[in-house]
A and B are shown apart, each in its own frame.
Chain A
C-alpha cells in the first residue's frame, strides 16, 4: 500500500453532500450496498423502511452491521476482529512489542 493509494482512499471522497459522488465508506461492501439502495430511493422502494442500521439510537458496539449508510450510528468505540490468541505461537508473535521481548528485534521493526 503506497502513499498514493492511501491518499486516494481517504481523500478520493468528500464528506459533503452533493459533491458528485455519494459519500460512503472507503471500500466497505456493506456500506456500498446500502448507499446504492439510497440512490434508488426516488424509485420503486418509496415505502420500504430502512433496516435497523439507520435507526440511529443505540446499537451494540459489537454489532458490525452498525456501519454504513448515510445515517450510520456515531460512536468512537472500536471493536477489532480477534484472531484468537489462545495458541502460544500467536501470542509469541507480539513478544517483541513488549519489554519482555528482544529489544534488538524491536529496533529492526
Chain B
C-alpha cells in the first residue's frame, strides 16, 4: 500500500490509485489545523467515487486525519451526486479520466456550483477538457450538458455527463502548436443584470481585437430556474490555433462577502472573500490578459489541462506519447511525480530553449478498461 501525507493533490492521488487498482493510504490530513481531517468536498469526492467504482473500500479514522482507499474496479452506469463543498468542476476532472476506463457507459448527473472563482468551470470542462479526450482517438461521443447554472455559494446548477468506455485509447502525438486563428468565449451572468455579460464580453474583445478580428463571445444570461440560487458572473475565453490546439482561461467574480455564511462546508475558506464583486469591465480585461499570458507560454495543452493530459497519456496502452507543453504548472509537476510513484510511468522531459517549451514523452502503462479486463 502506497502512503501519502497531507491533503494536497487529493484528487490526483485518488485518480492514480483508481487507474492502477492500487490501494493508497493518506495520513496526517490537516493534522495541525484548527479543525483537523477531511473536508466536506473531500468526503463528497470519496462518496462519488464509491458510487462509480465496484468494490471500492474507504476507511477513515475517527478524527478524519487518516484515509485508506482501495479502489476496486471502475463500473460506470447511471449515478447522481450532489457536489458539496466545491464546484462541480472539482469532481468532473478526475471523473472524466476515470470513466474512460469504465465497464459501462457513465451517465452522471451532478448538482451544485457550476461556476466559481476557485475551480475549473463546467464550461471549461465542456469546451477545453472534453475535446482533448478526442485527441486520444476516442471516437464515441463524450458529452457534458449544462442544464442549469449555479454560482457559489448556494449553487443550484446541474450538469449531465456522458462518457462511454474508450475501446482503445491511442497514444498521443501533439507537438504542433499552430497560430491562433480565433477566440471564442462565454460570458455568463446569473441572477444579476444581463448587462453584466455584455460588459465583460466588450472589455475582453477590446483587448483581443488589437491582435485578432475574429473574437466571438456568447453572452449567457441565465435567468429563472436555470440561473441557480446565487448571484454571480464570469467569462471564459478559448483561443483556437490552426493546428487545433486550444488555450482556455476563465475569470469569475468573487462571491459577495455576506454570502459566505451560507457556504456549505466552505467554512473558513468562504470567509476569505471580502467586499464587493469586481466590476465586469475589469474581469473582462483580466480574462483577456490571462489568455494572452497563456498564449505566450505556448505548448499544445494549456496550463489547467496539463495534469489531465499527462495522466491519460501515462495510462494509455501500447506505445509512446509525445506532447509539447508550456512551462509546467505546479499541479502538473506533482502529477508527474504521482504518475511515477503510483503508475510507474516516468516521462522524458526535454526543454526546448528557443521556444521555451517542454517536449514530454512517455510509454503508457497500458491501463485497460474494466470491460476489457473481464474478457
Interface of A toward B, CB cutoff 8 Å: 1-3, 5-7, 9-11, 13-18, 23, 25-26, 28, 38, 41, 48-50, 52, 54-63, 67, 69-83, 85, 88, 91, 93-95, 97-101, 103, 106, 109
Chain B minimum-CB-distance residue to A3: B350
9 of the cross-chain contacts (CB-CB < 8 Å) are A17-B4, A52-B268, A58-B266, A60-B254, A72-B6, A76-B120, A76-B308, A83-B293, A94-B296
B330-355 residues with Cβ-Cβ distance < 8 A to A are: 330-331, 333-334, 336-338, 340-342, 346-351, 353-355
Chain A residues, CB < 8 A from B27: 17
Distance A81 CA – B7 CA, assembled complex (angstroms):
26
| From A77, A83, A99, contact of B179 by CB (8 A) | A99
**Cβ B118 vs Cβ A58 within 8 A:** yes
**Cβ B351 vs Cβ A56 within 8 A:** no
B154-182 residues with Cβ-Cβ distance < 8 A to A are: 179-181
What is the interface residue range for chain B against chain A? 35 or more
**Cβ B3 vs Cβ A11 within 8 A:** no
Distance A5 CA – B353 CA, assembled complex (angstroms):
13
Q: 7 shortest A-B CB distances, which residue pairs?
A: A70-B6, A57-B269, A58-B269, A17-B5, A80-B293, A15-B337, A78-B303
Chain A residues, CB < 8 A from B7: 54, 56, 70-72, 74
Distance A93 CA – B330 CA, assembled complex (angstroms):
26
Main secondary structure of the interface of A (DSSP, over half): loop
B40 to chain A, nearest CB (A): 8
**Cβ B273 vs Cβ A60 within 8 A:** yes
Chain A minimum-CB-distance residue to B182: A99
Chain A residues, CB < 8 A from B28: 17, 70
**Cβ B179 vs Cβ A106 within 8 A:** yes
**Cβ A91 vs Cβ B210 within 8 A:** yes
Known: A15-B334, A101-B179. A77 touches B269 (CB 8 A): no
| From B9, B39, B212, contact of A100 by CB (8 A) | B212
**Cβ A63 vs Cβ B272 within 8 A:** yes
Does B143 sit within 8 A of A, measured CB to CB? no
| From A59, A69, A76, A100, contact of B8 by CB (8 A) | A69
Does B68 sit within 8 A of A, measured CB to CB? no
Contacts A17-B3, A70-B5 aside, 11 further interface pairs with beta carbons under 8 A come to A3-B350, A3-B351, A11-B340, A28-B330, A57-B85, A60-B117, A60-B254, A71-B29, A74-B9, A93-B296, A100-B213
Distance A85 CA – B208 CA, assembled complex (angstroms):
10
Does B86 sit within 8 A of A, measured CB to CB? yes
A57 to chain B, nearest CB (A): 3
Chain A residues, CB < 8 A from B263: 58
**Cβ B329 vs Cβ A78 within 8 A:** yes
Does B58 sit within 8 A of A, measured CB to CB? no
Distance A41 CA – B33 CA, assembled complex (angstroms):
12
| From A13, A50, A80, contact of B32 by CB (8 A) | A50
**Cβ B179 vs Cβ A74 within 8 A:** no
Does B290 sit within 8 A of A, measured CB to CB? yes
Distance A60 CA – B84 CA, assembled complex (angstroms):
17
**Cβ B293 vs Cβ A71 within 8 A:** no
Chain A residues, CB < 8 A from B12: 74
| From B181, B250, B268, B290, contact of A82 by CB (8 A) | B290
Chain A residues, CB < 8 A from B2: 16
B32 to chain A, nearest CB (A): 5
A13 to chain B, nearest CB (A): 6
Does B71 sit within 8 A of A, measured CB to CB? no
Does B184 sit within 8 A of A, measured CB to CB? no
B237 to chain A, nearest CB (A): 13
B353 to chain A, nearest CB (A): 7
Chain B residues, CB < 8 A from A83: 293
**Cβ A97 vs Cβ B296 within 8 A:** yes
Distance A98 CA – B93 CA, assembled complex (angstroms):
30
B18-68 residues with Cβ-Cβ distance < 8 A to A are: 27-30, 32-34, 39, 41-42
Chain A residues, CB < 8 A from B211: 91, 94-95, 98, 100
B260-311 residues with Cβ-Cβ distance < 8 A to A are: 263, 265-270, 272-273, 286, 288-290, 292-298, 303-304, 307-308
Chain B residues, CB < 8 A from A79: 290
Distance A21 CA – B329 CA, assembled complex (angstroms):
21
**Cβ B349 vs Cβ A97 within 8 A:** no
Does B233 sit within 8 A of A, measured CB to CB? no
